[in-house]
């Protein structure tokens, strides 16, 4: 009996490509899942796959592409992206893998994004400098570890919908992203949306739903 039951109708039902969590799956499981996507002619997105596991999978299915920075795999044609609609902002370079996961998930849906790296509030002038560029975008996703202040600052400066992504980066009391998560949830900036720790994919799907709702 098959160990997996793919949701191949998700695109038709929700407009979202099904993503498969890869971190806790074996290479054999991922190969079987990717092969089923390939037979169905559906774009396959598998998140949280490290380089060593990706290499084994690519040996079995050479068409698989490993997006190393995003820690993800794709199989199938990624649609051409729109002009940038979403701004992706990271507090520091340690937040980049989670940001890259979101960027890849958006690309799998044909949504273009613009990245603003290392604009954390430890140097507030850095985020203030990019405000004119942010105003041209429809939605912002902000990734931050430590105390997770970046989304709150943005929500007090610009009017677009903002999604905060707490990242599991920081010294002891940061507790693997718990401090950032709690800080974002307790934000005094009205209307800030927050997803779970390190959930770049979830933030991208939330952004996609907002964009389509506005369209």
Which CATH number do you get for residue 70? 3.30.110
Does residue 4 form part of some domain? no
**110 & 39 share domain:** no
122-150 as b/e, with b when 16 or more CB fall inside 10 Å? eeeebbeeeeeebeebbbbbbbbbbbbbb
Q: Which domain holds residue 108?
A: 84-214
Does residue 3 form part of some domain? no
Q: Could you list the pLDDT tens digit for every one of the 215 residues in the chain?
A: 356 677 666 777 777 788 899 999 999 999 999 998 898 888 999 999 999 999 999 999 999 999 999 999 999 999 988 888 999 999 888 889 999 999 999 999 999 999 999 888 888 888 899 999 999 999 999 999 988 899 999 999 999 999 999 999 888 888 899 999 999 999 989 999 999 999 999 999 999 999 987 65
**Local structure of residue 75 (DSSP, 8 states):** E
In angstroms, rounded to a whole number, what is the distance separating the alpha carbons of residues 171 and 78? 38
**54 & 126 share domain:** no
**199 & 97 share domain:** yes
**68 & 108 share domain:** no
Does residue 70 form part of some domain? yes
Q: Look at the chain and report how many structural domains it folds into.
A: 2
Would strands 139-144 and 162-166 be described as parallel, antiparallel, or unpaired?
Answer: parallel
Q: pTM for the complete prediction? A: 0.91
CA dihedral 206, 209, 214, 215 (to 10 degrees): 140
- Sign, Cα dihedral of 66, 30, 49, 111: positive
Does residue 1 form part of some domain? no
């Amino acid at each position: 009996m098959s160990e997996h039951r793919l949701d191949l109708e998700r695109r038709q039902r929700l407009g979202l490509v099904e993503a498969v969590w890869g971190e806790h799956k074996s290479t054999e499981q991922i190969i079987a899942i990717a092969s089923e996507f390939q037979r169905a002619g559906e774009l396959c997105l598998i998140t949280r796959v490290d380089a060593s596991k990706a290499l084994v999978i690519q040996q079995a299915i050479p068409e698989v592409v490993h997006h190393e920075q995003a820690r993800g795999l794709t199989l199938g044609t990624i649609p051409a992206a729109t002009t940038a609609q979403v701004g992706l902002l990271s507090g520091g370079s340690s937040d980049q893998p989670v940001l890259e996961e979101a960027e890849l998930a958006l690309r799998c849906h044909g949504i273009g994004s613009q990245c603003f790296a290392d604009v954390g509030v430890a140097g507030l002038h850095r985020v203030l400098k990019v405000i004119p560029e942010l105003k041209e975008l429809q939605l912002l996703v902000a990734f931050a570890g430590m105390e997770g202040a970046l989304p709150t600052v943005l929500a007090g400066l610009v009017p677009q919908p903002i999604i905060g992504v707490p990242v599991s980066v920081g010294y002891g009391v940061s507790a693997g992203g718990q401090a950032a998560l709690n800080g974002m949830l307790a934000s005094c900036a009205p209307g800030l949306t927050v997803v779970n720790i390190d959930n770049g994919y979830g933030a991208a799907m939330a952004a996609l739903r907002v964009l389509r709702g506005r369209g």
